[in-house]
Structure 1
Amino acid sequence: MLKNKVAVVYGGAGSLGSGVARAYAEAGARVFIAGRTEATLKKAAAEVGVEYDVLDAQDEQAVEAHAASVVERAGRLDVSVNLVPRGDFQGVPLMDMTLEDYTRPVVRGIACQFITARAAARRMVPQGSGVILSLNSGSANGSPMMGGTAAADGALDALIRQFAQEIGPAGVRVCGIWTAGVADSLTPEKLAAAGATGMDDAAVQGLVGHLDSMRMTKRSPRIADIAALATFLASDAGISVTGTWVNATAGMFPS
C-alpha cells in the first residue's frame, strides 16, 4: 500500500510509534523514525527494520533541517506522523491541579505538532502530494479527570482541520486518529508518568478490563489495529479522507 513512499514517524521509538513504523515498512515504505534518545531509537530501528535519526521535535530549526535531509536522502517526503509524548498528567480533579500540569500538554503538544506539520507541508506542497497524520485520545469530546489532555486534544483537532483546508488544494491530505487506552501499549511505567502511580502488571490488566467494558465493542484497540488504520490513511486507498478525525476508540464515545 505504501510502495515507493517515504515516511517519517516522530516519536517512533515508543510502542505505538514503532508499531506504525513497522506497518509502514511492511507496506513498502522507506521509513525514518525520529526521537531524542538514541539508545531506544537504535533498538527500535533494528527490531523494525527502518532508519533512525536523533531529533528533538520541539526544536524548529532541527525539524526543518531533518525534513530537508530526508528529502535529500530519499528524494521526497510522503508521510509525516507525529506521536511525540506531550507530558499529559491525569487522574486529578481540575480544582486540585497545578497550572503547570494543566498547561504542559497543551503548550508542548501543539507546538510540537505545529513544527512537524509545517516542516512536512513545506516539502509536500511543492511536490503536489503527501499525508500528514496525527493522533490523540479524542478527549476534546468530553472526558473528566483527564487534566489538560482535553484542551490539548481540542487544540490539535483544530490545527489538523486548518492545515487540511489550507494545503488541500495542493494535493496534501491532513487528518488524525482518535484512540485511547491502546491495550498493549499500557505499562506501569507509562501510567506512572501520566499520574497513575503504584500500578503493577495486574493493576494494568484490571485497567484494560475496565476500558474494555466502557467500549461499544467491549474490546480495546491494539497497536496493530491503529497501525493498520494509519497505513490505510497514509495510502492512496484513503485518498478521499482529509480534514477530519477517525474515531478508533472502539466506541468509547460516538461521533
Structure 2
Amino acid sequence: MLLTDRTAVVYGAGGAIGGAVARAFAREGARVHLAGRTRATLEAVARDIEGAGGQAEPAVVDALDEAAVEKHVAGIGDIDVSFNLVTRGDVQGAPLTELSVDDFLRPVLNGTRSAFLTARAAGRRMAARGSGVILALNSGSAHGSPMMGGTGPADAAADALVRNLATELGPSGVRAVGMWAAGVPETLTRDKLAAVDPAMAEVDLDAVLAGLAGMRMTRRNPTLAEIAATAVFLASDRAAGITGTFVNVTGGMVPR
C-alpha cells in the first residue's frame, strides 16, 4: 500500500471529494484524521473507513479558526499529509460587474485563510521532522473562466500559495502540490449547483454533465475515484519528485 503508517489530515472530509480522498487514503494504509464542521457527515465517512478495516478519527474543526486548527493539529502529533478541501462559499453565474463585493471576496478570503492556516500548522511540524506533503485542490479557473465570480481569483491565490510553500519548505524535505479538478459528476446535484448559481435550480443535470464532457479534451468527465487516486499518488513517495506545481485532472478542460 502506498500510504502505510502515514498520518493524514483531510479538511472538509465530510464533503463528496473530501470523503472520497479520505477513504482512498485509508485504503492505502493511512491513519486519517477527518476534519470538518458537520459531525454527522464526518462520522459517516469514519464508519465507512472503519468498516473497511481502516483507521479514522473524526473531529469538528473550523478551518477558518486559527486557534481551532492549531489545537487539532497539536493533538494529532506527527503529520505526513495535509489536504485542504474546505468549501469557500463561491457565487457563480453572474458577470463580475453584477456581483456584490461580499460575493466576490468570500471565496478569495475564505479559501486563502483556510489554506494558509491548515498549511502553516502542518508545514511547521513537517519541516521540523524533515518530511511531509501539503496538498490543495481547486478548479483551475485562475487561467480565465467567465461567469465564475470570485472563483478565479481564489484559485489564483491557492496556486500561488502552493508554489511559494514548495519553494520555502522544499529544503526541509516538505512537498506542496495541487490538483485542478472541475465538474466531477458524483459531486454535482441540482441543490449543490443552485447553492453556487441560483439559475441552476431547475437545470437538466444530464445536459449539464454532457456539456461539461464536451468541454474536455478527453470528451469524458473525470470520476471521483480518479480524483482520489491522483491524490493518493501525489501524497505517496512515488511522487517524490513532484512539488510546486498543479496536476491537471480536469480531462483537459483547463488546457495548461
Matched, 1:64 2:65: no
Matches of 2:106 and 2:177 in 1, distance apart? 23
Which one of 153, 156, 164 corresponds to residue 154 of structure 1? 156
Matched, 1:3 2:9: no
Matches of 2:49 and 2:201 in 1, distance apart? 29
Q: Hey, what does 1:17 align to over in structure 2?
A: 18
Deviation, structure 1 residue 188: 1.4
Matched, 1:193 2:195: yes
Deviation, structure 1 residue 59: 0.6
**Aligned-pair identity (%):** 54
- SS, match of residue 168 in structure 1: helix
Question: Any idea what the Cα deviations from partners look like across 1:80-116, whole Å, max 9, x if unmatched?
Answer: 0000000000010111111111111001110110000
1:142–1:198 CA distance, 2 compared to 1 (3 A): closer
| Residue segments in structure 2 that go unaligned for 5+ positions in a row | 51-55
| TM-score of the two chains, using structure 2 as the length reference | 0.95
Residue identity matched to 2:66? E
Deviation, structure 1 residue 196: 3.7
Residue identity matched to 1:165? T
Matches of 1:198 and 1:235 in 2, distance apart? 38
Matches of 1:254 and 1:148 in 2, distance apart? 20
Any runs of at least 4 consecutive aligned residues in structure 1 with deviations exceeding 4 A, and if so which? none
Which deviates the most, 78-87 or 183-192? 183-192
Report matched runs for 1:74-153 at 5 Å. Answer: 76-153=78-155
Matches of 1:94 and 1:67 in 2, distance apart? 37
Matches of 2:154 and 2:38 in 1, distance apart? 24
Residue identity matched to 1:204? L
Matches of 1:107 and 1:253 in 2, distance apart? 23
- SS, match of residue 8 in structure 1: strand
- Any conservation in 2 of the 1:94–1:145 contact (CA below 8 Å)? yes
Residue identity matched to 2:83? V
Residue identity matched to 2:97? M
Deviation, structure 1 residue 253: 2.6
- SS, match of residue 204 in structure 2: helix
Residue identity matched to 1:68? A
Matches of 2:104 and 2:19 in 1, distance apart? 28
Deviation, structure 1 residue 45: 1.4
Q: Hey, what does 1:55 align to over in structure 2?
A: 61
Task: Tell me the number of residue pairs that the alignment of Structure 1 and Structure 2 aligns.
Answer: 250
| CA RMSD after TM alignment | 1.1
Residue identity matched to 1:231? V
1:182–1:27 CA distance, 2 compared to 1 (3 A): same
- Any conservation in 1 of the 2:193–2:200 contact (CA below 8 Å)? no
- Any conservation in 1 of the 2:133–2:235 contact (CA below 8 Å)? yes
- SS, match of residue 53 in structure 1: strand
Matches of 1:243 and 1:198 in 2, distance apart? 35
Q: Hey, what does 2:228 align to over in structure 1?
A: 227
Question: Any idea what the Cα deviations from partners look like across 1:175-217, whole Å, max 9, x if unmatched?
Answer: 10011101111111211111244535x7222111100011010
Matches of 2:118 and 2:204 in 1, distance apart? 35
